[in-house]
Amino acid sequence: MSSGSGSFGRAVPGYASEDPSLPKPWRGLVDGITGYLYYWNPDTNVMHYHSITFWRKLDEFPTALYYIFNTMLLTLLVFHMYWWKLICLMIMRQLNNKGQVTDDVRSGKRIFFGGIT
């Protein structure tokens, strides 16, 4: 038996061929054992499994989706404000009536943001 200090079973990662779609400091590395491709930035020593071009495509977010999502969020905010007002009115009425259940707050006169309609 030999007691050599060689790197038996260890493969060294190597550089992949140049990819023109990658930004300049980024380089492709191929793992010597698994053969997986990693993307490495030698300036910051950051490594990614996904291509940097994949992350660039995420920056191109469609604006229509943005406005639809924000409109739904604002609608949800309005509904929560209305429900909060109903809950507060029910609590106030319950306290004023000393725990006795009376008519429903949702029916009758409506109060929106301080004004009666």
**For the chain, domain boundaries:** 14-59, 63-116
Residues 9 and 47: their CA atoms lie apart, in Å, by 23
* More reliable by pLDDT, 59 or 13: 13
Burial class of 26 by CB neighbour count within 10 A (0 to 12, 13 to 18, 19+): buried
3-state secondary structure at position 29: strand
Residue 88 has pLDDT above 60, yes or no: yes
On whether the CB atoms of residues 15 and 33 are closer than 8 A, the answer is no
Banded pLDDT at 58 (limits 50, 70, 90): low
Tell me the CB-side half-sphere exposure of residue 101, using CA atoms within 13 A: 1
Q: Considering Cα of 74, then 76, then 79, then 81, what sign does the dihedral take?
A: negative
Highest mean pLDDT among 29-38, 47-56, 64-73: 64-73
Structure-derived torsion over alpha carbons of residues 93, 95, 99, 100, reported in degrees to the nearest 10? -30
- Alpha helices (H) in the chain, listed in sequence order: 52-59, 63-96
Residue 102 has a pLDDT of 64
Q: What is the mean pLDDT of residues 63-85?
A: 94
Q: Say which range, 4-13, 15-24, 56-65, has the weakest mean pLDDT.
A: 4-13
* More reliable by pLDDT, 106 or 75: 75
